[in-house]
Amino acid sequence: MIRVLLADDHTILRQGLVSILAKDDECIVVGEASNGLEAVEKAFELEPQIAVIDISMPELNGMEVVKRIHKKLPDCRILVLTMHEEEEYVIHMVRAGASGYLLKDSASEELIKAVKTLANGKSYYSQYAAQVLANQYTQPDKWNDPYKNLTKREREVFHLVVDGRTTKEIAKTLDISVKTAENHRGKVMDKLKVANSAELVKYAAQHKLLI
């Protein structure tokens, strides 16, 4: 049986995904999560073979969820299931550690096919995502990374600031001191050349990083 973890903050959609996978004899849903932090916790606890992750989730965005799961559980294959089809999202998620990328309007048969393909150690991308990755491979200079030279930790802080978190909340979420969180915040703004949180949110919107 292929052990699957589902993470999506929309209950009705998540339940629908459970029903789709339950109809297949080779799949079993071992856990569900309604936000990013819960997804990471459930993944670490259950160690599923496949984690189906949405990009836009509360508490912790999908990109950071993918990064954390991939780092701690490299054998867990991650399938991103999302409504976002912009090329930036595809590239960000694959770089974070996703092995598959599928749009939510895909047929149920394709979801099952994607899960089984990942379980067999292969990658699975929708036709659009595959084209984006092919273009990135053949024309690497065409796409400029909007994160510039931010470190992994600074990227985490970037998204938390954009989500409206205070410095104290960022420190608590990342389990670091308030002073360290403040330093990271300052470096993010310096590197992206923005003066305040409002400009950082504007920067995120312009570069499709509001996830």
CB count within 10 Å of CB 62 equals 27
Mark out the alpha helices in the chain (DSSP H runs).
11-22, 36-46, 62-72, 87-96, 108-119, 127-138, 152-162, 167-174, 178-192, 197-206
> Quick one: pLDDT at residue 31?
97
Please say whether the beta carbons of 9 and 58 come within 8 A.
Answer: yes
> Quick one: pLDDT at residue 141?
56
pTM confidence score: 0.75
Least confident of 29-33, 72-76, 167-171, 207-211: 207-211
Amino acid in the structure at residue 68: R
Per-residue CA distances from 171 to 44, 98, 102, 153 (Å): 22, 27, 33, 12
Mean pLDDT of 133-142: 65
> Quick one: pLDDT at residue 137?
66
- For residues 211 and 55, the model is more confident at 55
Q: Give which of 74, 53, 71, 59 is closest to 5, Cα–Cα.
A: 53
Q: What is the pLDDT of residues 114-137, one digit of tens each?
A: 999 999 999 999 887 887 787 766
CA angle, 181 as apex, 177 and 184 as ends, to 5°? 140
Please say whether the beta carbons of 67 and 45 come within 8 A.
Answer: no
Q: Which helix (H) or strand (E) holds 33?
A: strand 27-33
Least confident of 9-13, 24-28, 74-78, 204-208: 204-208
Residue 16, φ and ψ in degrees, nearest 5: -65, -40
122 Cβ partners below 8 Å, 6+ apart?
Answer: none
Does pLDDT of 88 surpass 80? no
Q: Give which of 78, 71, 21, 76 is closest to 47, Cα–Cα.
A: 76
Q: Residues in the chain, how many?
A: 211
> Quick one: pLDDT at residue 208?
74
Mean pLDDT of 8-22: 93
Please say whether the beta carbons of 94 and 62 come within 8 A.
Answer: no
Q: How far apart are the first and last CA of the chain?
A: 32
Q: What is the pLDDT of residues 150-192, one digit of tens each?
A: 888 898 899 899 989 999 999 998 899 999 999 999 999 999 9
Q: What is the pLDDT of residues 35-84, one digit of tens each?
A: 999 999 999 999 999 999 998 888 888 888 999 999 999 999 999 998 88
